[in-house]
């Protein structure tokens, strides 16, 4: 096939990473963009020389020239658009989280199964980091042995973007579903994607969006509203898997803490590793405990390179050269975990899965 013609649905901030990824790919062409804000759709089309722009994503899907789409809209529209895109014969790259509920995830999975000529890739971008790919090679070769414990922490002290991120109806949740999904998936992927058995979680609504804070800047959504916020500040959980492994996680938008922190580690019976803030591998050789640092270009996750690798992989999959490493089934399992944390917090009890 010639160049893959791509449509971008939703032109908020994250879409820029997709756009740049396609622009840098020799076999991809951004053929159309869509956003309900016509001014923004027209501006993006003109900025990047895109020939078609729409205010209704359905019109974009009706364009038979388009081979694939990136879905970069609010979380509450993910399922509807993904199903429509698959049914319209488009391959789909969808931003995380896959959707808002397990029921929606299963409906998307059914649409994938009903359209065998198309596929869906979820934007678990941290799987495409160099540090992740290097560590996975070590894990796949048995260097860490049986991974039975992982721990992930992504703490923002002042990082509630507001806008749709802070609106439960559109987002489905706060830091857990926005940034927690990244670190949970990173651990789960490297642990071998074991089936979830139970979740015990807590969410806290104590600090709000901290719009009163002065002299410290933070990322704000395009539709930031200092008053609107009904998502959690902090979530924590312990996730148990059928193979006996466990994962502990804590994530926050707002927290009285010293500084922002990203720390992710995995621990097996032959070795362990820390993947963030930078990749290090912990082993035992000749009865000596040994910490080693791989000599690679990116010991920590590089955002732009990660998205480029994600787009590169997607285009290769569209062309039939590869099979996606982020299939819809992974999204179903992840939605069980994320919604399980919220359910556990509401019920103040552990949630079990069949």
Distance, CA of 51 to CA of 184 (rounded, Å): 39
pLDDT of residue 1: 73
Query: 164-213 pLDDT, tens per residue?
Result: 898 999 999 999 999 999 999 999 999 999 999 999 999 999 998 888 89
Segment 229-269, tens digit of pLDDT = 999 999 999 999 999 999 999 999 999 999 999 999 999 99
Cβ pair 351, 148 in contact under 8 A: no
pLDDT at 218: 86
pLDDT confidence of residue 224: 83
pLDDT of residue 61: 98
- Where are the domains positioned within the chain? 4-126+307-326, 127-301+334-352
Per-residue pLDDT tens digits for 325-339: 999 999 999 999 999
Cα–Cα dist 194/184, whole Å: 12
End-to-end C-alpha distance for the chain, whole angstroms: 44
DSSP E strands in 125-167: the ranges are 147-155
Q: How far is Cα 282 from Cα 337, in angstroms, rounded to an integer?
A: 28
Evaluate if residue 352 carries a pLDDT over 90.
Answer: yes
- How many CB atoms sit inside 10 A of residue 318's CB? 25
**Dist CA 291 CA 272 (whole Å):** 9
Nearest C-alpha neighbor of 155 from the set 276, 275, 73, 238: 276
Q: What share of the chain is helix, strand, coil (3-state, %, to 5)?
A: 35, 25, 40
Tens of pLDDT along 254-313? 999 999 999 999 999 999 999 999 999 999 999 999 999 999 999 999 999 999 999 999
Residue 226: is its pLDDT beyond 80?
no
At residue 272, the pLDDT reads 98
* 35-56 average pLDDT score: 96
pLDDT for position 298 = 96
Contacting residues for 332 by C-beta, under 8 A, at least 6 apart: 98, 102, 105, 106, 109
- pLDDT class for 227, splitting at 50, 70, 90? confident
- CA 289 to CA 293: how far, in whole Å? 14
Q: Give per-residue pLDDT as tens, 12-28.
A: 999 999 999 999 999 99
Q: Which fold, 4-126+307-326? A: Rossmann fold (3.40.50)
Pairing relationship of beta strands 261-268 and 147-155 according to DSSP bridges: antiparallel
Confidence of residue 223 (pLDDT cuts 50, 70, 90): confident
Which of these CATH numbers, 3.10.20.30, 3.20.20.70, 3.40.50.2300, 3.30.360.10, describes 127-301+334-352?
A: 3.30.360.10
| Number of C-beta neighbours around residue 56 at 10 A | 11
Residue 39, C-beta contacts closer than 8 angstroms, at least 6 positions apart? none
- 109: Cα separation from own chain's centroid: 17
Work out the angle at residue 171's Cα, subtended by the Cα atoms of residues 213 and 126, and round it to the nearest 5 degrees.
90
Q: What is the pLDDT of residues 81-133, one digit of tens each?
A: 999 999 999 999 999 999 999 999 999 999 999 999 999 999 999 999 999 99
- Determine the Cα–Cα distance for residues 307 and 219; give it in Å rounded to an integer: 19
């Amino acid at each position: 096939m010639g160049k893959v013609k791509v449509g971008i649905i939703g032109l908020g901030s994250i879409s820029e990473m997709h756009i740049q990824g396609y622009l840098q790919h020799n076999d991809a062409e951004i053929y159309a963009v869509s956003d309900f804000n016509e001014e923004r759709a027209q501006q993006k089309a003109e900025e990047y020389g895109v020939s078609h722009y729409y205010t209704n994503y359905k019109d974009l899907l009706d364009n038979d020239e388009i081979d694939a789409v990136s879905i970069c809209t609010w979380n509450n529209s993910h399922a509807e658009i993904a199903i429509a895109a698959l049914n319209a014969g488009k391959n789909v790259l969808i931003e995380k989280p896959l959707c808002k509920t397990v029921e929606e995830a299963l409906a998307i999975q059914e649409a994938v199964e009903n359209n065998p000529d198309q596929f869906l890739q979820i934007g678990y971008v941290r799987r495409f980091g160099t540090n992740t790919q290097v560590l996975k090679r070590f894990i796949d070769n048995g260097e860490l042995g049986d991974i039975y414990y992982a721990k992930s922490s992504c703490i923002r002290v002042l990082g509630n973007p507001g806008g749709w991120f802070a609106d439960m109806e559109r987002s489905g949740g706060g830091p857990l579903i926005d940034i927690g999904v990244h670190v949970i998936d990173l651990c789960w992927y490297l642990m071998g994607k074991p089936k979830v058995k139970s979740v015990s979680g807590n969410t806290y609504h104590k600090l709000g969006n901290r719009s009163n804070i002065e002299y410290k800047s933070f990322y704000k959504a395009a539709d930031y509203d200092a008053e609107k916020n009904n998502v959690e500040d902090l979530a924590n959980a312990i996730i148990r898997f059928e193979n006996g492994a466990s994962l502990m996680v804590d994530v926050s938008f707002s927290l009285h803490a010293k500084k922002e922190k990203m720390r992710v580690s995995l621990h097996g019976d032959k070795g362990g590793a820390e993947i963030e803030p930078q990749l290090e591998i912990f082993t035992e050789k000749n009865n000596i405990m040994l910490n080693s640092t791989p000599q690679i270009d990116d010991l920590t996750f590089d955002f732009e390179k990660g998205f480029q690798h994600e787009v590169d992989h997607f285009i290769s999959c569209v062309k039939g050269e590869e099979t996606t490493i982020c299939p819809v089934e992974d999204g179903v399992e992840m939605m069980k975990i994320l919604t399980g944390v919220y359910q556990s917090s509401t019920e103040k009890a552990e949630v079990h899965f069949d």
